[in-house]
Amino acid sequence: MSLKSERRGIHVDQSDLLCKKGCGFYGNLAWQGFCSKCWREEYQKGRQKQIQEDRELAERLQREEEEAYASSQGAQGTQPSLTFSKFEEKKTNEKTRKVTTVKKFFSSSSRTVPKKENQEAKAPSPSINRQVSIETDRVSKEFIEFLKSYQKAGHDVFKQCKICLEAMQQKREASIEEQSEYVQDFYQNTAEKLQLRWKMPSEKVEDVMDQIEKFIMTRSYKHVFCPETTDDEKKDLAVQRRIRALHWVTFQMLCVPVNEDIPEVSDMVVKAITDIIEMDSKRVPRDKLACITRCSKHIFNAIKITKNEPASADDFLPTLIYIVLKANPPRLQSNIQYITRFCNPSRLMTGEDGYYFTNLCCAMAFIEKLDAQSLNLSQEEFDRYMSGQASPKKQNAENWPPDACLGVKQMYKNLDLLSQLNERQERIVHEARKLEKDLIDWTDGVTKEVQDIVEKYPLDIKPKSQPLAAIDSENVENDKLPPPLQPQVYAG
């Protein structure tokens, strides 16, 4: 409180604190500088004037909205103005009973320049909504319609939202964290105000906050979802590639307690996959969360049908991981980031939706870090599956469910045959190599054997003439022989 008045002191003169009528009592800003007594008198007089002013303001706002619709939509532009004028009418009626006027949200200390300030504050606003689409229009319409029931508070909320959108537009160049922080601050402020100032019960506050989130995020979605300033897109692609590379993961590996043979269960699985994929098509964080929640409920159903007992987190998380792997939801990382940045924090931190969202975050973290150990596989097997050299499905071909698609069955049968063929071919090549080697070995063996024999029995060719000559020359007993017969000449 003390801090507040200090801050006020900056732009309020000390004398201004006294009642403007000079009665000597202190005035109050809420009573536009009068003391309570003088204010009551003044109020009666000023009421008529204020009603007039309110009407002007309302008309201006209405014109502005009309312009927004007209410029974007043309043909459909007339409808919203009609509903909005009703809204304004109701509001002005309300004003006659209550003191505070809309103007004062723009200026508390001065009532002399409210119009100027109004215009200043509103001047840039027509430019915000220029690139509106049909959906944005519909959401705006619904938002205005919704706020009708909250009268004064509703009008205030609408104004604050417009201001927030303007600020968001100006912050478009800023980092996404800054924008996120701004929106989060805005949520927190608005919720606090609804509770403290408008004395709304907390359920209603939640209701209004949901609508605010819807309104603001539908309009800002284009600029804050997967913004260029971040590397969200790169991460999205990385996650997508990762999930694709893990296509071979079966529910047995993850110990998923779901039996897809039961038709109802496989039905639930398909629905869960559809839901998680649908998340990307939603614009509002809360709608995205609702997709996750629906997906989770289908998973719970699948588990319940299979196990016939309520699912615990031990069952739920593996199944969710399996569903995410099968679905490969588009832009998963961006969606998670977007929800984290722009969802109403109270919903995200404690609510049921928050729990399922947390599980999805866990699932993504698990998938990113998944390794052989987390699937109870050996590193070798894991590597083989990752590189696509083998498919674990092959082992399941035998116990393929009977109702599986015939083509798929045939395909696996063929795959089996092919792999058998491959094996045989490999064996043939192997045998052929062996044969070749054997042949070479045999040749070598024979050569070696021959050489061995040759070495063992060397082929000494002794000069044949010598022993012959010896017979002739060195015969020792030659002497003993009678002299060779001499030819004798006989006269004859």
Q: Give the residue, chosen from 37, 86, 116, 197, that forms a contact with another protein under the rule CB under 8 A.
A: 197
Burial pattern 87-115, b for ≥16 Cβ within 10 A else e, equals bbeebbeebeeeeebbbbebeeeeeeebe
Taking CB under 8 A as the criterion, the residue among 23, 237, 349, 450 binding another protein is 349
Q: Three-state secondary structure along 116-144?
A: HHHHHHHCCHHHHHHHCCHHHHHHHHHHH
DSSP assignment of 223-251 equals HHSS-TTSSHHHHHHHHHHHHHHTTT--T
Tell me the one-letter amino acid at 423.
E
Q: Which stretch binds another protein (CB under 8 A): 26-34, 128-136, 408-416, 428-436?
A: 26-34
Closest CB 316 distance from another protein, rounded Å: 5
Among 356, 382, 385, 412, contact with another protein (rule: CB under 8 A): 356
Which residues lie below 8 Å from residue 297, measured CB to CB, with a gap of 6+? none
Question: Cβ distance 339 to 357 under 8 Å?
Answer: yes
Q: Which of 41-49, 96-104, 333-341, 410-418 is the region at the interface with another protein (rule: CB under 8 A)?
A: 96-104
Contact call for residue 301 and another protein (CB under 8 A)? yes
Does 30 interact with another protein (rule: CB under 8 A)? yes
Site string for another protein, 381-420 (x = CB under 8 A): ----------------------------------------
Compare residues 149 and 358 and give the one whose CB is closer to another protein. Answer: 358
Q: Which is nearer to another protein, 167 or 270 (CB)?
A: 167
20 binds another protein (CB under 8 A): no
| Amino acid occupying residue 407 | G
The residues, any chain, with a CB within 8 Å of residue 83's CB and separated by 6 or more, are: 141, 144, 145
Report the alpha-carbon distance of residue 292 to residue 304 in Å, rounded: 18
Concatenate the DSSP letters of all residues of 325-347 into one string: HHH--TTHHHHHHHHHHHS-HHH
**Measured between alpha carbons, how far is 380 from 264 in angstroms, rounded to an integer?**
36
- Can you tell me the distance from the alpha carbon of 39 to that of 32, in angstroms, rounded to the nearest whole number? 8
Q: What whole-number distance in Å separates Cα of residue 69 and Cα of residue 75?
A: 9
Between CA 243 and CA 328 the distance in angstroms is 6
Stretch that binds another protein, among 24-32, 45-53, 460-468, 482-490 (CB under 8 A): 24-32
> What is the total count of residues that contact another protein (CB under 8 A)?
63
State which residue, 30 or 450, has the beta carbon closest to another protein: 30
Identify whether the C-beta of residue 35 lies closer than 8 Å to the C-beta of residue 27.
yes
Residue 317 touching another protein (CB under 8 A): yes
CB of 373 to another protein, least distance (A): 7
According to the binding rule CB under 8 A, does residue 21 interact with another protein?
no
Contact track, another protein, 156-195, x by CB under 8 A: x---x--x---x-----------------x--xx-xxx-x
Question: Are residues 217 and 285 in contact, defined by beta-carbon separation less than 8 angstroms?
Answer: yes
Q: At its nearest, how many Å lie between another protein and the CB of residue 361? A: 5
Please identify, using beta-carbon distances, which residue of 144 and 303 lies nearer to another protein. 303
Candidates 172-180, 237-245, 316-324, 470-478: pick the segment binding another protein (CB under 8 A). Answer: 316-324
**Sole binder of another protein in the list 73, 81, 85, 107 (CB under 8 A):** 107
396-415 residues labelled b (16+ CB within 10 A) or e (exposed): eeeeeeeeeeeeeeeebeee
Q: Which of 108, 396, 447, 475 binds another protein (CB under 8 A)?
A: 108
Which residue type is seen at 197? Answer: R
| Residue 297 contacts another protein per CB under 8 A | yes
Which residue from 3, 75, 461, 489 is in contact with another protein, where contact means CB under 8 A? 3
Region from 97-105, 169-177, 410-418, 430-438 binding another protein, contact rule CB under 8 A: 97-105
Q: Which residues in the 112-151 window bind another protein by CB under 8 A?
A: 121
Choose which of 316, 382, 385, 412 interacts with another protein (CB under 8 A).
Answer: 316
Binding to another protein by CB under 8 A, coded x per residue (else -) over 240-259, reads ---------------x----
Least Å distance between CB 368 and another protein?
A: 11
One of 374, 377, 397, 409 touching another protein (CB under 8 A):
374
Residues 6+ apart with CB under 8 A from 439: none
Beta partners for residue 28, in sequence order: 34
Ranges within 447-466 binding another protein (CB under 8 A):
none
CA neighbor of 299 nearest in space, from 281, 283, 312, 286: 312
Tell me how far, at minimum, the Cβ of 105 lies from another protein, in Å: 6
- Return the number of other C-beta atoms located less than 10 Å from residue 139's C-beta: 21
Interacting residues of 371 by C-beta distance below 8 A, sequence separation 6+: 382
- 323 touches 292 (CB < 8 A): no
Residues near another protein (CB under 8 A) are 1, 3-4, 7-8, 28-31, 99-100, 104-108, 121, 156, 160, 163, 167, 185, 188-189, 191-193, 195-197, 202, 255, 297, 300-301, 303-304, 308-314, 316-318, 345-346, 349-352, 355-356, 358, 361-362, 365-366, 369, 373-374
